[in-house]
Amino acid sequence: MVIAELLDQIKDPEIPVLTIAELGILRGFDVVGSAVTVTITPTYSGCPAMDAIKADITSILKGHGFNAIIKTTYSPPWTTDMITLEGRAKLGRIGIAPPGPRSAVRCPRCFNGSPRTVSEFGSTACKALMVCSNCGEPFDLFKELR
Partner 1 sequence: MPEDGSRMTEALNCGDDNLVIAQRLAEWVSRGPDLETDIALGNIALDHLGVARALLGNVEEGRTEDELAMLRSEREFTNLLICEQPNGDFAQTIARQFLFDAYQLGLWEKLSRDSDEILAGVAAKALLEARYHFRFSSSWVIRLGDGTHESRQRMEAGLSHMWRFVDELFEKHPDLRPKWDRRVDDMLNEATLSRPKDSFQRGGGRDGFHTEHLGHLLAEMQWVARAYPGASW
Binding residues for partner 1 (CB under 8 A):
42, 44-48, 72-79, 118-125, 129, 143, 145-146
* Cβ-proximal residues to 101 (8 Å cutoff; 6+ apart), any chain: 144
Pick the closer one to partner 1 by CB: 11 or 143. 143
Alpha-carbon gap, residue 144 to 123, rounded angstroms: 15
Pick the closer one to partner 1 by CB: 35 or 118. 118
In the complex, what is the shortest distance from the CB of residue 77 to partner 1, in angstroms, rounded to a whole number? 4
| Strands 35-40 vs 67-72: parallel, antiparallel or unpaired | parallel
In the complex, what is the shortest distance from the CB of residue 138 to partner 1, in angstroms, rounded to a whole number? 13
Alpha-carbon gap, residue 23 to 100, rounded angstroms: 15
Pick the closer one to partner 1 by CB: 81 or 86. 81
Cα–Cα–Cα angle for 129, 132, 136, nearest 5°? Answer: 110
- Whether residue 76 is preceded by a cis peptide bond, meaning omega within 30 degrees of 0, is yes
In the complex, what is the shortest distance from the CB of residue 1 to partner 1, in angstroms, rounded to a whole number? 30
In the complex, what is the shortest distance from the CB of residue 67 to partner 1, in angstroms, rounded to a whole number? 20
Pick the closer one to partner 1 by CB: 64 or 146. 146
